[in-house]
Amino acid sequence: MSLTVVGSIAFDSVRTPFGERDRMLGGAAVHFALAASFFTEVRPVGPVGGDFGPDEFAVLESRGIATNDIEVIEGGQSFFWRGRYEYDLNVAHTEDTQLGVFGDFEPKLSDAAKAADVVFLANIQPDLQRQVRGQCSEARFSALDSMNLWIETTRDSLLAAISDVDCVIINDAEIRQLTGESNLARGARTIMSHGPRAVVAKQGEYGAALFTENSFFALPGYPLEDVRDPTGAGDSFAGGFLGYIDSHPGATDDACLRRAMGYGTVLASFNVEEFGTERVTRLTREEIEGRFEELVSMTRFDPIPVPSE
Amino acid sequence: MSLTVVGSIAFDSVRTPFGERDRMLGGAAVHFALAASFFTEVRPVGPVGGDFGPDEFAVLESRGIATNDIEVIEGGQSFFWRGRYEYDLNVAHTEDTQLGVFGDFEPKLSDAAKAADVVFLANIQPDLQRQVRGQCSEARFSALDSMNLWIETTRDSLLAAISDVDCVIINDAEIRQLTGESNLARGARTIMSHGPRAVVAKQGEYGAALFTENSFFALPGYPLEDVRDPTGAGDSFAGGFLGYIDSHPGATDDACLRRAMGYGTVLASFNVEEFGTERVTRLTREEIEGRFEELVSMTRFDPIPVPSE
């Protein structure tokens, strides 16, 4: 059991209708790793600048996350993102992105990171995703995320990266953009024709859907009356999803993937309740299991015999 | 067991990327009644013009629908709607609406219609909804739909109509608009504070969510690779939902409402597979049950003990 994730390790400045925070610990690999840390040993890979200090490492290490594949570039600046959300929390408006040390990133994985059983390639340039995937040659399950930028600018590389993974986890709008199919089921099937055997369509507040060759499964978002900061929801989902999969060696059948969808949904729901990593860093496994059970009951309905027509 | 619905009985001209049809039988009460007809005796109330002839009546009667509360205004024109859908089938663009005889509609219900056990007030002017609701004084369960127009122009009347029903079935964007709450769970709670004990949020391709005082339930849309005409999906949903409820006298507990959500989802999915009423008029109860069972399996996941952290 071990899970390697490559992606941004960052500082985020976020403003929502419910408050704001400056230079919080953030980034896809951070949100992913924190979520996955409740299930397995997780190892984020990526560069940070000298501004990433003991306090940031301490947050990760307090959750048992292996940090020795985080490369500190002294004199460099960590990836930085500034964004805001309007009243409609479904749409992030980016105000500033500074790649910093991420601009020259060349993934060099430790032997431990290369030996991962499960790999997640968070949303970074697809050629970097392929390099990391290639180094983790023994992984039994791999997944990637992406975004509109790479679909538009590096489509062929992205398709090559997709052909190397078992599962694609992206927003449903990105499925449509990538495949040119307005119908989501057709779009998912098109992606699977490139190699992956599973596609997870992230649907924001509506939840997520799982497409496999012979099965469809969908979960609503966990209903929350207070969502304060959606940043990192998708990566928290992926962390819960792949963390659970890694914790069940050998099993990636539909039943396992569906439970993984449940844990992804639960981790995403906790993530958005507060800003940045605030909520997940004091989360407990008991809280996760409690919300998972709730989610089971919120989606359960049973047929009974009905009067004939 | 009997179900009265008031709403438009209309002709629709529809264009989608997959074809077009001119002056099809349509309207909220028609789509609702056809869907509900698989479960119970249903009685649409509303006016039509002299252009509504034997062919149109025959479609309804072939499904056992009681048509004697459809009032024919000779010399008048039936309600007419012309719309188109772009590649994104989620958004209807209205090109023409002609109220015709609906402009002077004053609901006069037969004794049979008044004696309904279940009532659906489809999307019409809220004062008309209240008149019909008042005439069906013995209904054990009532529900209404509405739209942005009435929220903007007759808000107080709409709130009064809402306070008279057990269940509100509207789009999630309308919940937000009506309540001023961007958060759907809060918006649903606000609606329930006006009287209804259940709120169904229709979410287009994402399915539908059910809010009751102490419970949340959600179902995805049934995944279809071919959606040809979304017109009437919401009313078909309501027809399956309330038709099932009417077929279970006495039961409107959460378990019943959840199954009703399932039947609503199934009827909506068949409705959109072809234009207008084409698919539902040759649907069978066996097909409905088959898709219902599929929907149960598409949403089922089971917790198993997981390794501790």
ipTM for the predicted complex comes to 0.91
Number of H helices, E strands in chain A: 11, 13
pLDDT tens column, B65-93: 999 999 999 999 999 999 999 887 888 89
CB contact under 8 A, B298 and A226: no
Minimum CA–CA partner of A204 in chain B: B206
| Predicted local confidence at residue A250, as pLDDT | 76
CB contact under 8 A, A218 and B298: yes
Helix (H) or strand (E) holding B32: helix B28-36
pLDDT tens for chain A, 309 residues long, are 999 999 999 999 999 999 999 999 999 999 999 999 999 999 999 999 999 999 999 999 999 999 999 999 999 999 999 999 988 788 889 999 999 999 999 999 999 999 999 999 999 999 999 999 999 999 999 999 999 999 999 999 999 999 999 999 999 999 999 999 989 999 999 999 999 999 999 999 999 999 999 999 999 999 999 999 999 999 999 999 999 999 998 778 999 999 999 999 999 999 999 999 999 999 999 999 999 999 999 999 987 655 544
CB contact under 8 A, B226 and A306: no
Q: Look up residue A31 and give its two tokens.
A: 């949100």
Determine the average pLDDT of the residues in B45-52.
97
Quickly state the pLDDT bin for B309 (edges 50, 70, 90): very low
- Find chain A residues with C-beta within 8 A of B244's C-beta: 306
| Predicted local confidence at residue A89, as pLDDT | 84
CA-to-CA dists, residue B70 to B60, B66, B102, B131, angstroms: 11, 9, 12, 16
| Predicted local confidence at residue A252, as pLDDT | 84
CB contact under 8 A, A209 and B223: yes
| Predicted local confidence at residue B306, as pLDDT | 52
Helix (H) or strand (E) holding A101: none
pLDDT tens column, B92-113: 899 999 999 999 999 999 999 9
The rounded distance, in Å, linking the Cα atoms of B241 and B199 is 12
Disruptive mutation site among B2, B18, B301, B306 for chain A (greatest number of A CBs within 10 Å): B301
- Which of A87, A215, A247 lies nearest to residue B306, judging by beta carbons? A247
| Predicted local confidence at residue B249, as pLDDT | 82
Output B266-270 pairs: Cβ under 8 A, ≥24 positions apart. Answer: B266/B222, B266/B240, B266/B291, B266/B292, B266/B295, B267/B35, B267/B38, B267/B236, B267/B237, B267/B239, B267/B240, B267/B243, B268/B35, B268/B221, B268/B222, B268/B233, B268/B234, B268/B236, B268/B237, B268/B240, B269/B221, B269/B222, B269/B224, B270/B236
Helix (H) or strand (E) holding A80: strand A79-85
CB contact under 8 A, B39 and A87: no
Question: What's the burial of B195, exposed, middle or buried (CB within 10 Å: 0-12/13-18/19+)?
Answer: middle
> For chain B, what is the mean pLDDT?
95
The rounded distance, in Å, linking the Cα atoms of A126 and A174 is 15
| Predicted local confidence at residue B305, as pLDDT | 54
- Which of A89, A205, A292 lies nearest to residue B303, judging by beta carbons? A292
- Which of B206, B224, B298 lies nearest to residue A203, judging by beta carbons? B206
The predicted model scores a pTM of 0.94
- Find chain B residues with C-beta within 8 A of A190's C-beta: none
Of A197, A178, A198, the closest CA to residue A187 belongs to A178
- Which of A218, A292, A303 lies nearest to residue B220, judging by beta carbons? A218
| Predicted local confidence at residue A223, as pLDDT | 96
| Predicted local confidence at residue B163, as pLDDT | 98
Q: Look up residue A282 and give its two tokens.
A: 């004091």
CB contact under 8 A, A301 and B262: yes
| Predicted local confidence at residue A280, as pLDDT | 98
CB contact under 8 A, B220 and A225: no
| Predicted local confidence at residue A309, as pLDDT | 45
- Find chain A residues with C-beta within 8 A of B300's C-beta: 258, 299-300
Closest CA of chain B from A161, distance in Å: 26
- Find chain A residues with C-beta within 8 A of B205's C-beta: 184
- Find chain A residues with C-beta within 8 A of B308's C-beta: 285
